[in-house]
Structure 1
Amino acid sequence: MNNDTETTEAPTRRDYVKYGGAVIGGSLLAGCASNSDSEGTPTPSETGTDTATASQTATEDDYSVRMAPMGEVEFSNVPEDVFTILGHHVDMLLALGRGDDINAMHGPGYHQALYEKLVAHFDGVSVDWEGLYSSWPPTKEKLYELDSDIHIADPAKVTTGEGWDDSDVQEIAENVAPWFGNTLSGTNRTPPESWADRYEYYTLWEIFGKIAEVFQAQDRYEALASIHDSVLQTIEENLPLTYDRPSAALVLFSADEDSGWGYKLNYPGYYAAHTRPMGVEDALADAVGEGYGDDGRNITLDYELLLEADPDVLLVLGPMTESYNLDEIRQRLENDTAASELTAVQEGQVYAQGARRQGPILNLFQLEMTAKQLYPDQFGEWPGYVNGEPYPEISKDEQLFDRQRVADIINGEF
């Protein structure tokens, strides 16, 4: 990697992107570690002054995007080579037509298996992520080696990884490329102490809008957001009355034990962006009470606790990623003395879900599948998921969103 930008006669696209990011990211992170003022955070005017003074390579095409916890990040060109970690950011990049620009993600095989099942319904859209660097926790050496244009990852979250602190994050922002991401909004989780004063929480689609600005793809964001708004409106207008709604539980079972984890259906944050609009009764919340999911986190459960909750519908994470087999899960439940008594098991209402770390594409599919799984009379019967197969075919008149329209947006042909 060439760091001699001052002697370069004509700054390259990479220099433009990194220079703006290093100035903004560096000032914010320095404030994070400093005790020089009571807040530890530069004001917008201070940050802008630093940038105006330092940006000698600024052009008419400069633009900036603000999102917590980074603050204002400046760009002179649209990033092309993209590092990322978690699935919601990966999904957003794919939705913007940037899936092939990704050079890293956490669990590339996991995401490959899941998103292949979704994009099978989108003409001209595919994913090829196997073999990418699995990036949690990343190493500084690998980030230098990848030499990305941008790190679509939450720096506050990165500092919680083994071998990382605020100074390491600052070093990468200054020497490689800026950070731009927000992860703790998944459950509105409390940030590390040094980031608390500058952290803000966003919805999934608000984060997506910010990412779209970074890649100057606001038109794709607006088109997809319009589809999302339409899906939400359809769901809201057709929900049955509260007393006619089933109870439900969202769970992830251990692969080889009769235990697992339960997740809040109605908690703030993008993890529940597909279940919260359903207005369904959370059976686990009723069973566990106040101790359920403190700080938005999951709870550990066993079959006895699940039976105490006794949901009408059991939503099971994992099978669509090929990490778990839904038929085997159902068989284990049916063969267990306690679990076989579950209403959801006896009524055959144990359904596959995708993942909680969702971006716009997975969110659209999960809104549709969850609506059908919970309210078949209102939104049409869920056809069922077959292990290893793509997301099931649904007739056009029962789809909650137009597959071709989404494909056209991703492909930039709308």
Structure 2
Amino acid sequence: MSQTPAHRAPSVASHTRISTRIGAIAESATLAVDAKAKALKAAGRPVIGFGAGEPDFPTPQYIVEAAIAACSVPANHRYTPAAGLPDLRAAIAAKTLRDSGYPVDASQVLVTNGGKQAVYQAFTTVVDVGDEVLLPAPYWTTYPEAIRLAGGVPVEVFAGVDQGYLVTVEQLEAARTERTKALLFCSPSNPTGAVYSAEQTAEIGRWALEHGIWVITDEIYEHLTYDDAAFTPIVRVVPELAETAIVLNGVAKTYAMTGWRVGWMIAPSDVTKAATNLQSHLTSNVANVSQRAAIAAVTGDLSAAHEMRTAFDRRRRTMVEMLSEIDGVVCPTPKGAFYAYPSVEGVLGRTIRGVTPTTSAELAALILEQVEVAVVPGEAFGPSGFLRLSYALSDDDLVEGVGRIQRLLAEAQ
């Protein structure tokens, strides 16, 4: 008997192939720029990439050796607890006391597959559909996407060059509504390199505490500060926030371990337990060899990190000096991380080799096309009118790359 229309299965064409939630996600602009630069290099083009947010140094050898030794231990070939190896969770708790100055229990630590998973799980665990999350801008490109995946609404709070890219409590209060659930706080900042002072951090922490707002604080660049700037853990200066704060961190930036994929979140016990339940279905445990390497990293001294910071500091000063020589470019001196975030608004609207870029995305495309230098446009981090350049690359490449930009923009009419 032939099937009647009422009993026919719906055709694939009657549904969207990609879910609305996933289809709405934008590709990571920083990874996209880095991938394009690497592809052009592989094709033989002399491209210099300022896009990637990763140290250009190898992982310190003592960490590598710990991983090599771990490979031969059969226990590391098996599943382990989803929340992380007990030894690593305890080591992260001890490292937090050493570096941040306040105690946490190992049970509050959840080891994640890199910092990005910690970001995603933090928002997903405490944000419900329709909740608003205050997002100081310029912001790291992943934050708004993670908020939206959780069903939340990112509310941008912009601070420009005139504020040193640092938002104020007054701005946050103006953006707060009855739907505000959380605040994302990142210091030292990606993409700007801005660092909040202890006083500014405490003021923001007390404001969040007063209004019952969760603080999700990304501290991945804690050991990369320069000049008179110092990293200030928000939970240390406002201890009462411990019950409404989630700390995000990892080994990627401090120890040049971006590819090892080990991050973590520290939260109140009920949040850690809920996030661990999520991770048990999402990925289970982080690779055990990477966890063993992370134990070596966080229990070791910081001498290798300090050596890298010295190199970043030298490159930072060179980059700011060279960018500041370009007519129409304003480059605040970053105090942390390894990024410069110059305003290029004074260049937009001027003609360069027959092209008149009106957005930083158009300018970044022109720079790549004309002088084979990859930078990330401000649109990836908030408003147009800016570029992000990482100085986590060799001194020679840095000087050559910024020099190419200098020569190109000198032609602007």
Which fold has the larger relative contact order, with Cα–Cα distance below 8 Å and residues 6 or more apart in sequence? Answer: 2
Would you call these one fold, judging by a TM-score over 0.5? no
Task: Using structure 1 for the length normalisation, give the TM-score.
Answer: 0.29
